[in-house]
Structure 1
């Protein structure tokens, strides 16, 4: 199988690449292309099945070649898309359409269309100024994005579903939770602090929480997110069902609960390194995001949330080689 991962040098893309290249993977990879604006990790490039395309999707489209499975993770995240409308439109919508048209052009002469796993976002839901927001978000809740990022992703969702309806591709659309805890440097996502308030204190660095400590947030772990993407890539049409997007399950928590759990698992008060400095712009975005979900369709597909916030933070501590306290 010829596989393409856009955003393949990012954290989730890297974890996903490792998973599908591993022995016993349910994805039978003959060739894997990692497309990103940065180089993939060296250990991935050491695999003879892997090649890298570095640059924006639109600049490298002609070099992708025939593909059987596309896992489309690339995008401009929430804060950056809000700050730069043109960048968000170009990356989140125009590049997605370019990929769709690549798969459309490759459909002729093939017995089966390629599969596209499209990573959308729960930012397609928002607190409408007039209508408010549903107490619990389900797969059939009407999307009312309150950010450019959520709007761009919703437009792309509709295009993906329509191309699937026309038989031009097989659609697997998932609305991702905030993924935490991510290692590395902070990104421009409004939700970046969700990882930062754990990651930085573990490294002995001060961090800022830009929202009130009791702000409800929903998240999932990197491991659970990769599990969901692999499930989406390998499910047959009858099992997956509708080409419309699936809400992925998550944990509802607060920054306060995360910090209390971090202190307990670390065995020391790392939360002392976190300063609460409310940023009105970030708080305004985060306050429009839902925090409670009914992910019934995902559950029927065998997709699960992490067991607890303890499991999420313990996963990160294990990743950085710090054992959790008893």
Structure 2
């Protein structure tokens, strides 16, 4: 099996790569080839016995998608995107990467399947597209189900919503077998803060856990929908093996997660790391971030994903513990 990960240098892409290498198979099929692509150089997978290729490419360039599809990967994980805050700040860049890049990829797969020099070798890969809960916009019901209409209030959410429609149509037409998974906000993201408007949800936990200050730009009563990086990788693995006939033509679905307020996040931090860690959080209201966050969904009814076998974290304590175990060697404190 040949697996292509686009956006492989990102946090989720790296963790997905590591998990695939450790498992050695996907859905019972041995992984013999990995292609890792991103706009910055992905790290070569350590300990992988098969063929591995790392590519530094820009998906917004049409020739990039053609090159990637020519390798005829069996499973394609499309994780590449610029984050919400950056897509809102730079309108043209957001559409070029998040929308044009996605369209180029889907069209390249279609064209590869139509190649006249290989009529006896049909090509119809599995495509896993990471969408976002940002496809939804207020006013919201108490819990958002898969049937709730998409009316995004940001450019990022709009770009992801269009990507979902393209994925559904290209799957309907038989060009590939696609599934779009709407990820909750991934928390706690390791590494340095990024330009995502949602970044503070991780920052107010990650930095205090190692003895550093963090800034909280919104009210503690802000509620949001979360999943850990561990859960995100689990979603991707399951999406890569799920019988997609069970989806019918409703190819995009909400992933399970955990609804919590910022205040509940902080209390979980207090339970696991103490008052000293909580004291490192400094409140500095930011009107721009507050306005963006006010347009985000707070809670979901993910019964469809749960019935299909997707699983997520049970408590915020579990989310913090996963970060401590995976990123801090089981130790709290800087």
| TM-score scaled by length of structure 1 | 0.93
Partner of 2:126: 115
Report the more deviating stretch, 198-207 or 39-48.
Answer: 39-48
**CA RMSD across the alignment:** 1.8
Gaps of 5+ in 2: none
Q: What are the Cα deviations for residues 162-217 of structure 1, in whole angstroms up to 9, with x where unaligned?
A: 11111101011111100010110111111011111111111221110111011111
Taking the aligned partners of 2:76 and 2:312, their CA distance within structure 1 comes to 24
- Residue 62 to residue 168, structure 1, CA distance change in 2 (3 Å): closer
Matched, 1:247 2:254: yes
Gaps of 5+ in 1: none
Q: Determine helix, strand or coil for the equivalent of 1:269.
A: helix
Partner of 1:161: 168
- Residue 147 to residue 161, structure 1, CA distance change in 2 (3 Å): same
Taking the aligned partners of 2:4 and 2:303, their CA distance within structure 1 comes to 29
Task: From 40, 43, 67, give the equivalent of 2:42.
Answer: 40
Q: State how 1:136-285 maps to structure 2 within 5 Å.
A: 136-285=143-292
Taking the aligned partners of 1:243 and 1:33, their CA distance within structure 2 comes to 29
Taking the aligned partners of 2:50 and 2:312, their CA distance within structure 1 comes to 34
Report the more deviating stretch, 169-178 or 229-238.
Answer: 229-238
Report the more deviating stretch, 308-317 or 17-26.
Answer: 17-26
Displacement of 1:324 in angstroms is 6.8
- Residue 100 to residue 133, structure 1, CA distance change in 2 (3 Å): same
Partner of 1:322: 330
Taking the aligned partners of 1:72 and 1:277, their CA distance within structure 2 comes to 35
Q: Determine helix, strand or coil for the equivalent of 1:155.
A: helix
Q: Determine helix, strand or coil for the equivalent of 2:319.
A: helix
Partner of 2:93: 87
- Residue 122 to residue 189, structure 1, CA distance change in 2 (3 Å): same
| TM-score scaled by length of structure 2 | 0.91
Displacement of 1:142 in angstroms is 0.5
Aligned length: 321
Displacement of 1:322 in angstroms is 3.1
Matched, 1:124 2:135: yes
Displacement of 1:242 in angstroms is 3.0
Matched, 1:98 2:104: yes
